[in-house]
Structure 1
Amino acid sequence: MPPKEGLQDISPGEGTHGLPSPPPPRVPATAAAQRRSPHRGDRRRLRKTGQAPPAPRGSFPPSPPAAEPGPDPSRAPQRDRATARRGRPARQTSAVGRLPAGPAAGGGEAPPTPQSRAPGGRAPAARRRAAAPDGAAGTPLALRLREVLSRLSLGRQDVSDASGLVNQVVSHLIQAIRSQDGSFSSIERLGAGSYYEHVKISEPNEFDIMLVMPVARLQLDECDDTGAYYYLTFKRNPKEKYLLKFLDEDKKLSAFKMLQALREIIKREVKNIKSKKKAGSPAITLLIKNPPAEISVDIILTLEVQQSWPPSTQDGLKIEQWLGRKVRGEFRNKSLYLVAKQNKNEKVLKGNTWRLSFSHIEKAMMNNHGRSKTCCESDGPKCCRKSCLKLLKYLVEQLKMEYPKELEKFCSYHVKTAFFHSCVMWPNDTDWHVGDLDHCFQKYLGYFLHCLQKSQLPHFFIPKYNLLSLEDKASSDFLLRQINDELNNGFPIFQKSY
């Protein structure tokens, strides 16, 4: 795809575990180079090594480049202070260059970050944070983003009312399902998705509820080259004899048959609640009246299998530098989840395919997202990871409302996957300081634009599974153009209401 306005030209290639491999960032000048007398040769070398490049046309409103890490440039060297006392002007230790992007997942380099037209150097990070420890002040972009975030916050009473209504309906439903003929007597409830990950925006009107069924060991056979979809068969006669009636003529466990049986039970139990089936969705959707609107509850049939994750996941979940090797091992020792999901690439659509699900792991990562174990706890340091995710979710959501047909292929999972990759590329909590919201959002958005440009967004757990299929390249191109338009015009869509 040709480079778009407002985005740097990026050479092709792949980084570790399938991440797009962007060009190496410019190396910032060292503190020593900044303190040298500004002779002509030094100035030339400084321009070559550390001067920030001119901003691309699609840049944000003024947001100066960040100061480089290292000794606090706000403190003059001892020699300069002495010189100043003798009546001579002290040397200025200006911050040169931009914030290093940091290593990408698996050792690659981070993608380019959209830059701002900056009339001058950015204040040192320590000084900025001291001036605005709560992140209330900052650049015009930061103020605009925080204003948007304030509108996206969920009202406490609204959340309480909606969740109470959902809990009442789901509890009754689960009790009724368990009391049937035994087919689903072992199900357990697990909340998943944005509401339970605390990244839901605007309204508490969508809930994802997984009905988890423990099943004995299964044989998983890949049904395509994505590594995400599988046929399931029993290696021996299962202890759960009632599952035998859900086998198809090839002795495969039929997702279609199980979903159909579950849907019949739900329809009998919730006669006064509308239910619908979304095309291609693994969920049974309930619509609960909650004047003046409705609450959508997705009921997702999920199999829990106590066995090793399949080989397609071996190189995924590369969180060692972010959450740690120990945490990765704990996650990979958790049960394998599979949801009833039709694979549209099958030659003959029989409805007997299942897709790997990592909702339980994603929820755990979202709710314990810091490298330090106290990140965003009540008495711990705050970061802006979730704020950045909410902003990009909202941007894509608004664009989808404006262009529903052109962007129907996109969903919040694309945004969340890009978020996890960004957390790996910038693993430190200081990379997401709450006072640096504008800069952090630009980094994250830059990676997402990079993925759109290359039509390559690897599944976070299954690296060979590209969520931006080349078959849908036209959609990626369209979204890329729309986001660049927003960049060039200061995000006018944030001011619209639908």
Structure 2
Amino acid sequence: MDTAGSRGARARRGTRPAAPRNRGVEKGSEKGAARSPSRVHVAGESPSGAATPRAPQTDGPPGRGSRPARRAPAAQELPASGAEALPAPRSRAPAARAPAAPRSVAAVPDGAVAAPARRLPPAADALRLREVLSRLSLAREDVSEAATLVNLVVLHLVQAIRSKDSCFSSIERRSAGSYYEQVKISEPNEFDIMLVMPVARIQLDEADDTGAFYYVSFKRNPKEKGWLKFLEEDGKLSAFKMLQALRDIIKQEVKNIKDVEVTVARKKVGCPAITLQIKNPPSEISVDIILTLEAQQSWPLSTQGGLKIEQWLGTKVRRDMRFRSLYLVAKQNKNEKVLRGNTWRLSFSHIEKDMIKNHGNSKTCCESDGPKCCRKRCLKLLKYLLEQLKMKYPKELEKFCSYHVKTAFLHSCVMWPNDSDWHLGDLDHCFQQCLGFFVDCLQKSQLTHFFIPQYNLLSLEDKAKHHFLSRKICQELNNGFPVFHENYSAP
């Protein structure tokens, strides 16, 4: 690795070191396998039909002293109207120089054939990503108007729900989702609101082998006798019965909301949310109401090996997070032999929100007077890429959701834990790094839940769909993301 003095000398001379020659990587070489995936990309597909980008190292985060290799410099950009100006990458090499020769492929997914490496992206690629981000920025006045309407409706409903059923008398509102994580894209037209109910002395029994779904029962008879109507014969607390009672109250109460037109959307099979549609001409706002239990008790054993953020956010932060309340949302388990609707799924949305908002390895990252990183920008681009592809291929990609890319993003933050790995001027490099990890997960049909290591978010039954999405992502990557500039209407 160059010393600080040699780097300064090169900068004064206006030169940079010669590009390394292509080298074959010996099998099992750790040095080759640890290289950043964003330096090499796919030009074709494997015989099995899956695209074969270089996969990132997944055995653990790199050492604090290590950094991914830097990309060729991008040209200085003039910000779009209303957009934040982003600095150019820190490389001092003259922009007119030809890009360095790409390195040879160091690792490919199991069973795949290495494809020729793609050239390093030109400066225009970085400029296009910044232009896309400027279009995704939400107008402040639109956000304010939408949030005011949502707050008005939710406040009315919470007061009514508390008074209509004694079991719901202690519910509290909690905000969740991309809007409150400050990574919402395009329009402020979707909000997630958790209605949280405190419960005491509950017992959790695993409903399957994922470690995510549980049956809930009371260790002692609850003091509030109204809970009895929500219990099954075997004493299990029925998520279906509670969700139905809450839906009935909301359906009646929306009729009493003045000055705002609110309707309750039809129930979707397997969806844990009660969806409200709020008219806001010329469009409408969708609000997902999510029934949530809050228990002040230890997290289940299935979470023991998850939340591996020690190198990223620190051991103390991890310990403090694991002492926080346990959330369970009313969610049907599809693997249940008899579908009774009495299962609950662990939820960590409150923890995810805090990690994304306070994402720095150093405690000053992205604060008003602190250094800026591109983590949130990468997450926005990942969400937008999946959203656009889902609109283009609705049937093929119907089983994918933003939580898949959000989980891949959190794993990427663990793999590259330092703020210096996410320098604001290296947006294109970091975005492709995240994409490389996500594509590798798709090709292997293995995306581990961030908090529950035994839970795979990609069902092995859907391997063909996973490979389809990986191919489409690689096509976009190798062609400068044309889907970012195509317009589709929601299916």
TM range (shorter): 0.7 to 0.9
Cα distance change on mapping 1:110 and 1:248 into 2, 3 Å = farther
User: For the residues of structure 2 that align with 1:286 and 1:358, how far apart are their CA atoms?
Assistant: 23
What is aligned with 1:452?
Answer: 442
Of 267-276 and 140-149, more deviation after overlay is shown by 267-276
Name the Cα RMSD after superposition.
Answer: 2.6
User: Does 2:289 match 1:299?
Assistant: yes
What is aligned with 2:137?
Answer: 153
User: For the residues of structure 2 that align with 1:349 and 1:459, how far apart are their CA atoms?
Assistant: 24
**Is this contact kept in 1: 2:298–2:323, CA < 8 A?**
yes
Letter in 2 for 1:171: L
What is aligned with 1:115?
Answer: 39
User: For the residues of structure 2 that align with 1:292 and 1:439, how far apart are their CA atoms?
Assistant: 38
User: For the residues of structure 2 that align with 1:235 and 1:169, how far apart are their CA atoms?
Assistant: 36
Letter in 2 for 1:238: P
**Is this contact kept in 2: 1:321–1:427, CA < 8 A?**
yes
What is aligned with 1:135?
Answer: 86
Which of 288, 291, 314 is the matching residue for 2:278?
A: 288
Cα distance change on mapping 1:131 and 1:344 into 2, 3 Å = closer
SS at match of 1:179: helix
Structure 2: which 5+ runs fail to align?
A: 23-32, 42-68, 78-83, 90-122, 256-260
Give 1:136 deviation, angstroms: 4.4
Letter in 2 for 1:342: Q
Which of 451, 457, 470 is the matching residue for 1:467?
A: 457
Cα distance change on mapping 1:292 and 1:131 into 2, 3 Å = closer
Give runs of aligned pairs for residues 193-208 of structure 1, distance below 5 A. Answer: 193-208=177-192
Which of 259, 262, 265 is the matching residue for 1:273?
A: 262
How many residue pairs match? The answer is 406
Which of 300, 303, 314 is the matching residue for 1:313?
A: 303
Residue deviations 1:434-489 (CA, integer Å, cap 9, x gap): 00001111111100011011000000000110001111111101101111111222
User: For the residues of structure 2 that align with 1:381 and 1:128, how far apart are their CA atoms?
Assistant: 20
Cα distance change on mapping 1:431 and 1:479 into 2, 3 Å = same
User: For the residues of structure 2 that align with 1:126 and 1:201, how far apart are their CA atoms?
Assistant: 27
User: For the residues of structure 1 that align with 2:404 and 2:275, how far apart are their CA atoms?
Assistant: 21
Give 1:240 deviation, angstroms: 3.2
Which of 211, 214, 226 is the matching residue for 2:195?
A: 211
SS at match of 2:161: helix
**Is this contact kept in 2: 1:453–1:477, CA < 8 A?**
yes
Give 1:185 deviation, angstroms: 0.5
Residue deviations 1:21-45 (CA, integer Å, cap 9, x gap): xxxxxxxxx44xxxxxxxxxxxxxx
Residue deviations 1:271-295 (CA, integer Å, cap 9, x gap): 2521122221110000000111110
Provide TM-score, normalisation by structure 2.
Answer: 0.78
Give 1:125 deviation, angstroms: 6.7
Provide TM-score, normalisation by structure 1.
Answer: 0.77
SS at match of 1:289: strand
Structure 1: which 5+ runs fail to align?
A: 1-29, 32-69, 85-89, 99-108, 118-123
SS at match of 2:340: coil
User: For the residues of structure 2 that align with 1:110 and 1:246, how far apart are their CA atoms?
Assistant: 53
**Is this contact kept in 2: 1:283–1:299, CA < 8 A?**
yes
User: Does 2:429 match 1:496?
Assistant: no
What is aligned with 2:170?
Answer: 186
User: For the residues of structure 1 that align with 2:366 and 2:337, how far apart are their CA atoms?
Assistant: 48
**Is this contact kept in 2: 1:73–1:94, CA < 8 A?**
no
**Is this contact kept in 2: 1:73–1:95, CA < 8 A?**
no
Which of 155, 158, 166 is the matching residue for 2:150?
A: 166
Letter in 1 for 2:293: L
Cα distance change on mapping 1:483 and 1:128 into 2, 3 Å = closer
Rg (Cα) greater in structure: 1
What is aligned with 2:62?
Answer: none
User: For the residues of structure 1 that align with 2:468 and 2:344, how far apart are their CA atoms?
Assistant: 31
**Is this contact kept in 1: 2:38–2:432, CA < 8 A?**
yes
Residue deviations 1:344-388 (CA, integer Å, cap 9, x gap): 111100000000000100011011000111111111110000000
Cα distance change on mapping 1:306 and 1:91 into 2, 3 Å = closer
SS at match of 1:400: helix
Cα distance change on mapping 1:457 and 1:125 into 2, 3 Å = closer
SS at match of 1:318: coil
Residue deviations 1:396-430 (CA, integer Å, cap 9, x gap): 10000011111011000000000000000000001
